[in-house]
Structure 1
Amino acid sequence: MSVMPNSHEALIRNRDRLGGRVALLGVSAPALLAELPDGGMAMSEHAGQAAALATQEHWQSCFGYDDPGLIASAFDTVVVFLPKARSELDLRLSLARWLSAPGARVILVGEKKEGIAGAVKQLKAVAPGASKVDSARHCQVWEAANIEPLADFDLSSWQAWHSVSHAGCSIDVCGLPGIFSHGELDGGTALLLETLVTSPLKAEHILDFACGAGVIGAWYQAWQRAQGQSPSVVDGVDVQSQAVICARATYDRAGARGDIMASDGLENVDGLWSAIVTNPPFHSGVKTDTSMTENFLREVSRHLKSRGELRLVANSFLPYESVIKRFIGPVERLYEDRRFTVYRAIRR
């Protein structure tokens, strides 16, 4: 059984406040739902967590902010767990108000180290009468009674566009609150793009793992067109709902080709690619966590054609080279500095 976060345990202490039809936004552990047998709706923007939530009886699982199961004015109590990115809290609170029936209460739960103190200001901006009802498990629990519902929740109004330029080639990139590197070109991604210029991939069909907002695939195809080449098809996969939504929008605007898929790692992905590129995440909350990338490297060989190429950029302090060598094949460093290393490996 997965260990429950402190915020989930703090909510269980306050389960008597969960009256009527209940919605939970930002759930990460299915064990919480088992403790609340009356059921309701649980949303996660993480594909793996949403799939796990769907296994719990009496609970409807929703994936992300555009899930068709999210219904206006349908809930009497809406619990908002504090997201990692503070900018995402305003989005989550707006969704909570749209889901709220007249007279509903909104409960905000978060850990002190996650920044609950600052988050309370955002709650009070939409619910001035909100008050703290509990402190436990290094968390605070705040409640806003009779929240003012929102008549509309239009996710596209939260989208923001910015331009990414590299090697004389520009694309427009879609962003949403909570997405990685929102509004800028991440330094590691920029170096990966540079190696695509200096050492282009010999592949017509590519997979971008942990594709984020679709920068690599959309930019690479635009750069290939600018060189007079026929662009590769670049599929993308990401675990986060906002990333999938933004990558599809980025591809649409750039005229890029490729399927964008939601998956926790490669477990639910079928297909073989001639090349796989990635700038994988290595944080879980505030902690360094390389497990997702290590799992990816274990799985990747069955998705990479024989003699296919893996190209990966990572912070130079992360111990990936030996893992790549073990699971893929011989490793070459295409670029290296104090911050980042770009690895190339050819599948045995």
Structure 2
Amino acid sequence: MTARKATNRDEAGGRNALAALERNSSLLTGRTGLLGLLIPELPALPPGDEPLVITEHAGVAAGLERRGGCRVLFGYQAPETDQGSLDTLVIFVPKARDTLNLYLSLARYLLSAQGQVVLVGEKREGIAGAARQLLGLAPDAQKVDSARHCQVWTARLPGASERFDLSQWLQWHEVACAGTQIAVAGLPGIFSDGRLDEGTARLLESLAEIPVGGPVLDFACGAGVIGAWLQARSPGQGPVDGVDVQAQAVFCARQTYDRNNANGTIVASDGLPEDLGLYQAVVTNPPFHSGVRTDTSMTEAFLEQVRRHLQPGGELRLVANRFLPYRGLIEASIGPCKVLSEDRRYTVYQAFREKPARGRDRSRVR
């Protein structure tokens, strides 16, 4: 549900923010950290220790680890040894206001007593609103530069009185569909936090009417709604594995599974890991937005990969906004595709990987 690749807009905005930061490299003093980086690139930093880079994006984390020259933390559960370990922490403005609140709380935990935060971001990504949030916590915050459609702010934050604990940011809500109810975990920045989105509801309704066989994989699993719901509805369903690119989603999915006594392995990955096994069914509500802009690149890449993770005769069940051009892509990758349900906004597709010629099931598309 929540997986999201770094898009062209993310890359352009990320490079603009890095360029604005490099214009003000004199601010990056002592032990430095970067929080919320959306692209696997580092700014030109003054000589010194390798920076700590904290990112919610599994692809960015993997790219930085391959690149080297920094210490990478995927997600926001910083170890105790990092408390007060930084003199400067750069925060790249996130899209969600609640996420910035989380960032600022983590910054207070990571910064030394005399450390400073550097806030940088594009105007179109909400730097003005983010600066107001910063001023609410640190009234002496100052804007030090405005360049490349970005602003750069600095501030000293009040110190943290206790260890930063991501679980304290968890919120729980109930989700019900087709007579089955589960508890779902939420964190700032996660997709559809606090509610069941319409697309996933349409997918669950189709799964209630036409169940899938196991083993099952939920791609872009988000907070683990589909896997936990499937197992709550049919206790004999068996484990449902999940994949998501976002650290908050992986954390929440594991919490959701624990709360609902669901089974399955939740994996952080930018796309389908090559070492995944074979599944009888892959279900997904893939994302298609970068901000307000339509971007189907992640789903297109997924459809190119998913066939090799389906057992012969295995099923793909996908829900998407009806205007998105997925039917042809599904048929090109897997085989004949059927529309199971459709309304004004959403379409649920079903396709089966063909079986070997011997004993071939010609009724695989019902």
Question: Could you tell me how far apart the structure 2 residues matched to 1:273 and 1:328 are?
Answer: 14
> How far does the alpha carbon of each residue in 1:123-148 deviate from its partner, in whole angstroms, 9 at most, with x for none?
11211110100101111111003x22
User: 2:189 maps to which residue?
Assistant: 178
User: 2:170 maps to which residue?
Assistant: 159
Distance 1:269 1:247, change over 3 A: farther
> How far does the alpha carbon of each residue in 1:18-58 deviate from its partner, in whole angstroms, 9 at most, with x for none?
00000000112233246666431111100000111113343
Contact 2:77 2:165 in 1 (8 A): no
SS at match of 1:54: helix
Contact 1:174 1:247 in 2 (8 A): yes
- The range that moved more, 321-330 or 36-45, is 36-45
Question: Could you tell me how far apart the structure 1 residues matched to 2:147 and 2:293 are?
Answer: 22
Structure 1 counterpart of 2:204, one-letter code: L
Among the aligned pairs, what percent are the same residue?
57
The answer on 1:327 being equivalent to 2:338 is: no
- The range that moved more, 322-331 or 28-37, is 28-37
Deviation at 1:213, TM superposition (A): 0.2
For residue 49 of structure 1, the aligned residue among 51, 55, 60 is 60
For residue 105 of structure 1, the aligned residue among 96, 116, 119 is 116
User: 1:95 maps to which residue?
Assistant: 106
User: 1:32 maps to which residue?
Assistant: 42
User: 2:90 maps to which residue?
Assistant: 79
Contact 1:19 1:77 in 2 (8 A): yes
For residue 12 of structure 1, the aligned residue among 22, 42, 56 is 22
User: 2:71 maps to which residue?
Assistant: 60
Q: 1:176-325 maps to which residues of 2 (within 5 A)?
A: 176-201=187-212, 203-225=213-235, 230-325=236-331
Contact 1:33 1:59 in 2 (8 A): no
Structure 1 counterpart of 2:28, one-letter code: L
> How far does the alpha carbon of each residue in 1:102-122 deviate from its partner, in whole angstroms, 9 at most, with x for none?
110101111111111111121
> How far does the alpha carbon of each residue in 1:172-199 deviate from its partner, in whole angstroms, 9 at most, with x for none?
0000000000000010000000000111
The answer on 1:125 being equivalent to 2:121 is: no
Contact 1:263 1:269 in 2 (8 A): no
Question: Could you tell me how far apart the structure 2 residues matched to 1:169 and 1:219 are?
Answer: 7
Structure 2 counterpart of 1:328, one-letter code: I
Larger RCO, structures 1/2 (Cα 8 Å, 6+ apart): 2
Distance 1:34 1:56, change over 3 A: farther
Deviation at 1:231, TM superposition (A): 2.1
The answer on 1:144 being equivalent to 2:120 is: no
Query: What are the ranges of 5 or more consecutive residues in structure 2 without an aligned counterpart?
Result: 1-10, 355-366
Query: What are the ranges of 5 or more consecutive residues in structure 1 without an aligned counterpart?
Result: none
Contact 2:25 2:45 in 1 (8 A): no
| TM-score in terms of structure 1 length | 0.94
Distance 1:178 1:92, change over 3 A: same
Contact 1:62 1:69 in 2 (8 A): no
Deviation at 1:67, TM superposition (A): 4.9
Distance 1:109 1:286, change over 3 A: farther
Distance 1:314 1:69, change over 3 A: farther
Distance 1:69 1:241, change over 3 A: farther
Structure 2 counterpart of 1:160, one-letter code: Q
How many residues get paired?
341
Question: Could you tell me how far apart the structure 2 residues matched to 1:67 and 1:296 are?
Answer: 31
Contact 1:99 1:149 in 2 (8 A): no
Contact 2:321 2:347 in 1 (8 A): yes
> How far does the alpha carbon of each residue in 1:236-270 deviate from its partner, in whole angstroms, 9 at most, with x for none?
01000000000000000101111111000013542
Contact 2:28 2:46 in 1 (8 A): no
Question: Could you tell me how far apart the structure 2 residues matched to 1:84 and 1:36 are?
Answer: 28
SS at match of 2:67: coil
Deviation at 1:5, TM superposition (A): 2.7
Deviation at 1:68, TM superposition (A): 4.0
Question: Could you tell me how far apart the structure 2 residues matched to 1:209 and 1:274 are?
Answer: 13
| TM-score in terms of structure 2 length | 0.90
Distance 1:141 1:308, change over 3 A: same
Q: RMSD of the TM alignment (CA)?
A: 1.6
Question: Could you tell me how far apart the structure 1 residues matched to 2:73 and 2:292 are?
Answer: 25
For residue 134 of structure 1, the aligned residue among 145, 155, 174 is 145
Contact 2:220 2:243 in 1 (8 A): yes
Contact 1:206 1:235 in 2 (8 A): yes
